[in-house]
């Protein structure tokens, strides 16, 4: 499907406005927040993103991937800048009960249905904009959620060393990812490329990783080689990934 570019804001808006979608009973919104996005999960529950009520759709769109801080807002009554509240994600039942809620640590986030087939329940991409004011090693980070199974806990992936870590993909100046169509009709795989300088000699090493869903478990395989890659370059050839 090519390089993944998430636009969860517009997806949520289309769900709300184009599908006659409405929450039967709305859960109370914390002070200082507004509901920035709502996406149906499939079991009657709704996955929501809450953001600082000062973050308008226009400010969200213009600030995404560029960072957002207190200077992004108009001065408060005492003319002192007030830092934006951290975004929150929550899972709300059809009767308005908050089933799960978590702070995301950064002001902006989006959520969308993940185009992944063959999983035991629907998966969603929760993307948190972790972009720093400077540098090329930060940017949006995408978690994979399966709310019907684990609510708001990220899906775990079995690493090559045997440990299980959250399934998260980075989009920075030196890292990106894409979904790869399945050849035999199973679950799509995901490729991630990233480049960083080594500690020893400061030469760049590029890492190629492939995530696959096999026998009910996401697994990761990786390989490294000397060389530099950044998002100004084309996505690497498939043969470079394990």
The DSSP-derived string for the chain is: --B----HHHHHHHHHHHS----SSPPPPPTTEEEEEEEE-SSS-EEEEEEETT--HHHHHHHTTT---GGGS---TTS---PPPPPEEEEE-TTS-EEEEEE-SSS-EEEEE----S-SS--EEEEEE---SS-SS--EEEEEE-HHHHTTSBPEEE-TTS-EEE-EEE-BTTEEEEEE--SSSSPPEEEEEEEEE-TTT--EEEEEEEEEEETTEEEEEEEEEE----TTSPPPPGGG--
Q: With 70 as the cut, is the pLDDT of residue 95 above it?
A: yes
pLDDT computed for residue 183 by the predictor? 82
**How many structural domains is the chain composed of?**
1
Q: With 70 as the cut, is the pLDDT of residue 20 above it?
A: no
Question: Residues 126-150: what's their mean pLDDT?
Answer: 92
Q: With 90 as the cut, is the pLDDT of residue 160 above it?
A: yes
pLDDT computed for residue 133 by the predictor? 78
The reply to whether 2 falls in a domain is: no
Position with higher pLDDT, 22 vs 75: 75
The reply to whether 73 falls in a domain is: yes
**What range defines the domain where residue 223 resides?**
8-240
Question: Residues 149-154: what's their mean pLDDT?
Answer: 95
The reply to whether 1 falls in a domain is: no
Question: Residues 81-108: what's their mean pLDDT?
Answer: 94
């Amino acid at each position: 499907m090519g390089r993944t570019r998430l636009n969860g804001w517009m997806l949520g808006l289309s769900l709300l406005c184009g599908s006659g979608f409405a929450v039967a009973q709305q859960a109370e919104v914390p002070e200082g927040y507004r509901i920035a996005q709502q996406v149906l999960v499939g079991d009657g529950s709704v996955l929501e993103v809450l953001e600082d009520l000062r973050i308008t759709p226009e400010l969200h769109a213009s600030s995404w991937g560029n960072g957002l801080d207190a200077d992004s807002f108009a001065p408060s009554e005492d003319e002192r800048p007030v830092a934006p509240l951290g975004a929150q994600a929550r899972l709300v039942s059809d009767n308005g009960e908050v089933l799960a809620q978590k702070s995301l640590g950064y002001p902006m986030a989006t959520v969308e249905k993940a185009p992944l087939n063959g999983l035991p329940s629907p998966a969603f991409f929760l993307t948190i904009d972790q972009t720093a004011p400077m540098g090329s090693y930060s940017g949006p980070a995408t978690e994979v959620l399966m709310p019907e199974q684990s609510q708001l806990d990220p899906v775990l992936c079995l690493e090559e060393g045997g440990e299980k870590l959250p399934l998260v993909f980075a989009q920075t100046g030196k890292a990106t990812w894409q979904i790869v169509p399945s050849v035999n009709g199973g679950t799509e795989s995901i490729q991630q490329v990233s480049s960083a300088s080594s500690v020893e000699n400061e030469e760049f090493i590029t890492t190629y990783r492939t995530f696959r869903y096999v026998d009910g478990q996401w697994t990761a395989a990786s390989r490294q080689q000397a060389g530099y890659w950044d998002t100004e370059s084309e996505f690497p050839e498939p043969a470079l990934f394990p």
